Amino acid sequence: MEVEVLHRQVMPHPAVNGSRVARTREAIVASALSLAATGEVAPIVRDIARMAGVSARTVFQHFADTAELYVAVLDRVFAIEFGDMPEPGASSSLDGRIQFIVDRGADRFERLLPMWTFVETLQRRSAPATDMVAQIYATNQVNLARWFDRELSGLPAEQRARTLNALALALSPESWVALRRRLGLSVERARDELRFVVDAALNGGARR
């Protein structure tokens, strides 16, 4: 993918109130997100501007280039999909926690699926995007360590780390993409496979 990079001319923002500026920026980000969600790997400014009801010049009054706009889109996606992580009940059984976590993760990953190529391409070409994705993965691993603390706490340090890595790998967007696109599984079958893998990782870690 060739990421379109067009730099704006240095100029002051138009004399409008802050709420109008915020609404315009929101419309631009929302439009770019809508195009990415349909599978566009690199939404072009002309289409973004048309959908937002603004000119291409206006887009570059709010963003230095399309790379900056795409990062804003990625930030919005992660805020929507990962900003409010529900917690499994602390007293839930292992099976209950596995089902809860897999089901919530599958719902998020399925919504990300149409735009995953956009996400992957952007993080290869943008350091801020790479950092953003890395933070999501780090947070996910911290959450998994907390959610499965009962099962992990009794393991030797090395085995605990390996089991946690296996869980983080299984419960990642890439795993969902592989199940749905590479293996062609239905949503329900993909959920079942994830539950099986997570259960095997936890019970296998406990046995070793």
* Maximal CA-CA distance, the chain: 67
| pTM of the complete model beyond 0.85 | no
pLDDT at 14: 42
pLDDT at 208: 44
pLDDT at 204: 78
Paired tokens of 102: 């897999």
Consecutive 10-residue averages of pLDDT for the chain (208 residues):
36 52 95 94 95 96 94 92 77 92 94 93 93 93 94 94 96 96 97 97 68
Let me know: does 112 contact 175? Beta carbons within 8 Å: no
**How many whole angstroms separate alpha carbon 204 and alpha carbon 208?**
6
Ordered by start, the domain boundaries in the chain are 1-84, 86-207
Q: What is the dihedral of CA 75, 79, 81, 85, to 10 degrees?
A: 140
Q: What is the dihedral of CA 164, 133, 114, 83, to 10 degrees?
A: 80
